[in-house]
Amino acid sequence: MGLEYSDLDLPAKPGVYIFKRDDDRVTYIGKATDLRSRVRSYFSKNPDREMIPRLLDESGKLEFIVTQTPSEALVLERQMIRTHQPRYNSQLKDGKSFPFIALTSHEKPRILYTRHPPKGSKIWGPFPDPGSAKLVVKLIRQYFGIRDNTDRSPFGFVEPEGDSDYGERVRAVESVLDGNARVLIDRLQKEMDRASNDLHYERAGRIRDMIGSVQRTMSESVVSSRFYQDCDAVGFASRGDSGCVVILHAKEGVIQGKVEYPLIHRGDVADSVSLVLSEHYSKRKPPRKLLTPTPLGDSMTEWLSSRRSGAVDVRTPKRGELAKLRSMADRNAEIMVTRSPRSRSGSLEKAAADDAAKLIGLRSLDHMVCFDMSQTLGMERVGASVVFRKGRPSKEEYRTYRVKSTAQDDLKMMAEVVTRWVKRQEEWPDLLLLDGGETHLSTIESSLEDLGVSGLFRVAALAKREETLFMRDSEPLVLDRRGRAIVHARDEAHRFSNRFHKKRRSKGALADPLEGVEGLGAKKIQALLRHFGGRKGIEHASVRDLREVDGIGKEMAKRIRAHLQG
């Protein structure tokens, strides 16, 4: 079964689209001013080309790369066709190529407009507009006195005696071609102003058009640059908890392709990007240069270098050609994360739940319940349970609990709350998750056996230290990115429990009478509760008894006793 347009979701942006077979072999590459409308035309009832039905039937997927302008799409399309040689791009497989601007390797470099740059030369391009490229060469020769292929100086350019500053002029030209065209544009601007002041408006208009050509030509070089030798550019974008990392791979001066990683974005940008890069480069050799949206830290750089068996230059460029390339990666990530956010988010979260299920040996993880307990100063104790359905929070099923027994420790409180939950259930989850470690797991498993429901669902405890998951008859498992759905459930239970606890405190429900004792802080209150086993023990303690507690002196003991007696 081939592609269906209803399965696609493309932006109305310029760019390149890539048809692929299920085995990732490229079948066709095209360019578009509007990707959405252009690709839609392939699925019309009366296609305008005979090959289209075969292309759709043979292709199993479609990818795209967004560009800044249609001209960039034109250049990128050509370069990708050269790289992949797709079956259905027969009309574009001729020997024609786009022009480059080259500086030769002569002692006094010569500037050329050429479709076949000489070996050893420095090149810029390719440029989709040959006329603009020729104009740039002409202007560079005129204003900087750079020689042409015949080794002649430009007509009308007076060289300094001995041509001693030729190397300096060449370096200035390289700066212009690298994107810093300000020097050339400033010179043209001054000429335009002079022509206008002299009432030579036609000449001023021609110079104005020249400035526009220079600006367009320089901006179009983002998809190809001599700086892109072995370089990956990483882009990132997020909307809520949905994120996307895009990696553009450039080699031998041109962008070769794009890889995208949708993800659930829960932390900061560096964490999400590092997560993707550790996955991406576990299967392939990192490039010499890696452009990232934010610094990643020494540990990631060291890991990348070890994977490459050589140094990897990780940088976050702010200006110049490399910054342009990285910005293009950001634009593509932005498109990916904003198109159909609801359906993408849902599928991402379901995929995360499926990944976690495979990781811990369950058939599915479409229904997960997680418990967390919260208490302050050992007094009023609360707990909460959260429910996830297919990886997404089911907030209407969230529940809060106030511990009714006199239990003071976390284990007994959790056992009480879980027992109350069990007695109300009509549907069992795939996994009951506890915020805790091995002791929590054994305590709750024991309670479930007493209730006669042991074995009806799996139980696990997730310890915060190294995110270690404990399950019966399994070795402790340190979760990696495949377990992100489990970590998220635990974090959500913790957040919800703490929010409930804070809400009750704001109403005064959890205000501890001892907090009114001058000089008595939380640590000393906890010490009193542990020493006397709870509130009643403190209320019946004498001044002498109170002084036996670490940190409680004679005066403090008297204040406590006086406070409790009113």
What is the residue-wise DSSP string for 131-148? HHHHHHHHHHHHHH--B-
Q: Sketch the domain layout of the chain as residue ranges.
A: 5-92, 100-223, 230-339, 353-506, 513-564
Span 235-243, average pLDDT:
83
| pLDDT of the residue at 470 | 94
Span 444-449, average pLDDT:
92
Please give the order of strands across the beta sheet that includes 26-32.
Answer: 26-32, 15-20, 61-66
Class of domain 230-339: alpha beta
Question: pLDDT tens across 545-562, in order?
Answer: 899 888 898 888 888 888
Strand, coil or helix: 365: coil
Nearest to 393, CA basis, from 485, 460, 467, 456: 485
CA distance to 23, 96, 239, 359, 393, per residue, from 243 (Å): 26, 40, 6, 22, 17
- The region of weakest confidence among 237-241, 315-319, 358-362, 503-507 is 503-507
User: 102 forms bridges with which residues in the sheet?
Assistant: 112, 123
| pLDDT of the residue at 446 | 93
Span 498-508, average pLDDT:
64
pTM of the model: 0.40
Backbone angles phi, psi at 353, to 5 degrees: -65, -40
Exposed (0-12), middle (13-18) or buried (19+): which is 357, by Cβ within 10 Å?
A: buried
Query: Topology of 353-506 in CATH?
Result: Nucleotidyltransferase; domain 5 (3.30.420)
| pLDDT of the residue at 268 | 76
Percent of the chain with pLDDT over 90: 14
Q: Would you say the CATH fold of 353-506 matches that of 230-339? A: yes
473 — pLDDT class (breaks 50, 70, 90)? confident
| pLDDT of the residue at 383 | 86
**DSSP readout, 18-69?**
EEE-TT--EEEEEEESSHHHHHHGGGSSS-SSTHHHHHHHH--EEEEEE-SS
Evaluate if residue 279 carries a pLDDT over 70: yes
User: What is 513-564's CATH number, 2.60.370.10, 1.10.10.10, 3.20.20.80, 1.10.150.20?
Assistant: 1.10.150.20
| Better-scored residue on pLDDT, 254 or 62 | 62
Query: Which pair of tokens denotes residue 533?
Result: 């086993």
565 — pLDDT class (breaks 50, 70, 90)? confident
- The region of weakest confidence among 112-126, 137-151, 223-237, 421-435 is 223-237
| pLDDT of the residue at 285 | 83
Query: Which pair of tokens denotes residue 495?
Result: 């957040």
Evaluate if residue 334 carries a pLDDT over 60: yes
**How far apart are alpha carbons 456 and 428 in whole angstroms?**
7
Within 265-366, strands assigned E span: 289-291, 313-315
Strand, coil or helix: 387: strand
- The region of weakest confidence among 217-231, 287-301, 344-358, 496-510 is 217-231
User: What is 5-92's CATH number, 3.20.20.70, 3.40.1440.10, 3.30.110.30, 3.30.465.10?
Assistant: 3.40.1440.10
Mean pLDDT of the chain: 80
**How far apart are alpha carbons 505 and 172 in whole angstroms?**
68
CA angle 401, 402, 408 (to 5 degrees): 120
Q: Do 66 and 11 touch, CB atoms closer than 8 A?
A: yes
Question: pLDDT tens across 170-215, in order?
Answer: 887 887 776 666 777 787 788 888 888 877 877 787 778 777 766 6
The Cβ-side half-sphere exposure at 162, using a 13 Å CA radius, reads: 2
The structure tokens 């039937």 sit at 57
